[in-house]
Amino acid sequence: MNAIDVALICKALGDANRLEIVKMLSDGEKCGCKLLERFEITQPTLSHHMKILVECGLVNARKEGKWQHYSLNCETLTQFKEFIEGLTCCGSNNEGGGLLLMGKFITDQILGMKWLNTLIGNLLGTLGLDATSRIGGSIQFFLYDVIKITVLLCVLIYLISYIQSYFPPERSKKIMGRFHGIWANCIAALLGTVTPFCSCSSIPLFIGFTSAGLPLGVTFSFLISSPMVDLGSLVLLMSIFGAKVAILYVVLGLVIAVAGGTLIEKLHMENQVEEFIRRASAVDIASPTLTQKERLVYAKDQVAETFKKVFPYILIGVGIGAVIHNWIPES
């Protein structure tokens, strides 16, 4: 879409009534009679507004009986939105503007993989499928999200598994034992973000950390953070919802972990721990030192194992999303 086309659409949307008409048409095709009922205008005035919207390419019109029926031109609307979204406000600070553009590129093209969505749309077009139609849009949505989520998931699992190979339980326990007070809770929560422990491993971890003499509150800060906040969640959320939502999720997760552990510490709930756990002797088993090759093999194995378990659910989830996205009205 060139600047002239965008200017015509902007001019057409410069009237409050026409803007409201476009908003109504976003719910689906509307008869001219329905539009007249909504606005206190005459038939000639409505025809004038619709003529402008049709001429700029934003609205399609078809005649059925004595009434015109109007609907949005999804292709034109999508191109107009892409043009507007491509505009950035860098201000007078060129360095800040460059960072903003770089951040947008990383979010949109690397994490969001918008180039892939465009590529799939073009490929569907060559096959005779209209990506703006319901069927074509659903197929494009399904292929794009399945490929994007799968690629991001495999890359993230590989990188995070490699990082996690440096933090076995014994090493995590030693790191947390060096700190005290609120800082111990903070370190435990942060350490939980880079460790591979899920909620299913909480019981043996709890026993091991408690028997090693770690404060109960510190242990809980770690156990709350580990399954709830991780680097994979941060990157996936950033690719889907943007940096603000992803960072907010991580920050809130860390705050909950620190606050939860601190609260348990202040309540002095050590007496609620079973006697056999408190009396258990700590067994410090030295973790094997992995070579670089072994860490890479470990990360690859984690990718293969997780992919086999998760991929069927990706297909099901994205399939449901494709139906909701193009077949169920937004309102």
Residues 170 and 284 in one domain: yes
Digit-coded pLDDT (tens) for 133-150: 778 888 888 998 899 888
- Give the count of beta carbons closer than 10 Å to the beta carbon of residue 192: 25
Range of the domain at 201: 166-289
User: What pLDDT score does 92 carry?
Assistant: 46
Most confident of 16-20, 130-134, 281-285: 16-20
pLDDT over 80 at 209, yes or no: no
Question: pLDDT > 90: what percent of the chain?
Answer: 2
Domain match, 280 and 173 both: yes
Reading across the β-sheet that carries 59-64, which strands appear in turn? Answer: 30-31, 67-72, 59-64
Does 90 have pLDDT greater than 60?
no
The yes-or-no verdict on residue 119 having pLDDT over 50 is yes
Beta-bridge partners for 64: 67
> Considering the domain boundaries, does residue 253 fall inside one?
yes
178 CB contacts (<8 Å, ≥6 apart)?
A: none
pLDDT at 115 over 70: yes
Among residues 80, 103, 122, which one ends one of the domains? 80
As a dihedral over the C-alpha atoms of residue 301, residue 307, residue 310, residue 313, rounded to 10 degrees, the angle is: -170
- Domain for residue 282, yes or no? yes
Assess whether 185 and 285 both reside in one domain.
yes
Look at residues 274, 289, 304 and tell me which one is the last residue of a structural domain. Answer: 289
pLDDT of residue 168: 62
- DSSP code string of 64-76: ETTEEEEEE-HHH
pLDDT score recorded for residue 283: 46
Q: Is residue 139 part of a domain?
A: no
Q: Are 72 and 173 part of one and the same domain?
A: no
Residues 112-132 have a mean pLDDT of: 83
What is the average pLDDT value for the chain, to the nearest integer? 77
Please give the pLDDT value at position 285.
45
Q: Is the full-model pTM beyond 0.85?
A: no
Reduced to 3 states (helix: H, G, I; strand: E, B; else coil), residue 30 is strand
Residue in the structure block whose two tokens are 């947008």 = 104
Within-domain flag for 225: yes
For residue 272, tell me if it sits in a domain.
yes
Q: Does residue 99 lie within any of the structural domains?
A: no
Residue 326 has pLDDT above 70, yes or no: no
Cβ atoms 26, 105 nearer than 8 A? no
Per-residue pLDDT at 101 exceeds 80? no
3-state secondary structure of 309: helix
Among 59, 80, 101, give the residue marking a domain's end: 80
The pLDDT of residue 292 is above 80? yes
Is 331 inside a domain boundary?
no
pLDDT above 60 for 161: yes
307 within a domain of the structure (yes/no)? no
Residue type present at position 242: G
Residues 174, 64 within the same domain? no
The count of domains in the chain is 2
Query: The domain spanning residue 68 has which CATH number?
Result: 1.10.10.10
Rounded Cα gap, residues 64 and 55, in angstroms: 20
Count helices and strands in the chain by DSSP H and E runs: 16, 3
